[in-house]
Amino acid sequence: AQSVSQHNHHVILSEAASLELGCNYSYGGTVNLFWYVQYPGQHLQLLLKYFSGDPLVKGIKGFEAEFIKSKFSFNLRKPSVQWSDTAEYFCAVSYNTDKLIFGTGTRLQVFP
């Protein structure tokens, strides 16, 4: 079955630390990949997306993600996190349809 795995459920970092959140999807074929962010009390917002071209995708607020097809992965990275990055992060995949499959989310807490 199609699925998305996010390995880190809860990540705690200090400000200026580097961040990498893992995301793997279940099998190959043509995929579109997304990272969404949900700040406390708010709805989901798109952070970045990949649908073709350069596998290194840059998003808002200094985030980037790399699509590695051979590993079925789309890990999210940020070189230096800020307190304002405290949020829940969701990886999602669509197999060339409108239907999105979400991971279970990673809660990031950044302490000053």
Partner 1 sequence: NAGVTQTPKFQVLKTGQSMTLQCAQDMNHEYMSWYRQDPGMGLRLIHYSVGAGITDQGEVPNGYNVSRSTTEDFPLRLLSAAPSQTSVYFCASTGGTAYEQYFGPGTRLTVT
**Of 24, 13, 28, 27, the residue nearest 78 (C-alpha):** 13
Is position 99 an interface residue for partner 1 (rule: CB under 8 A)?
Answer: yes
Helix boundaries (H) for 4-106: none
Q: Between 24 and 103, whose beta carbon lies closer to partner 1?
A: 103
Is position 30 an interface residue for partner 1 (rule: CB under 8 A)?
Answer: no
Residues 6 or more apart whose CB falls under 8 angstroms from that of 112 comprise 14, 15, 83
Is position 60 an interface residue for partner 1 (rule: CB under 8 A)?
Answer: no
Q: Which residues sit at the interface with partner 1, rule CB under 8 A?
A: 6, 9, 32, 34, 36, 42-46, 49-51, 90, 92, 94, 96-100, 102-105
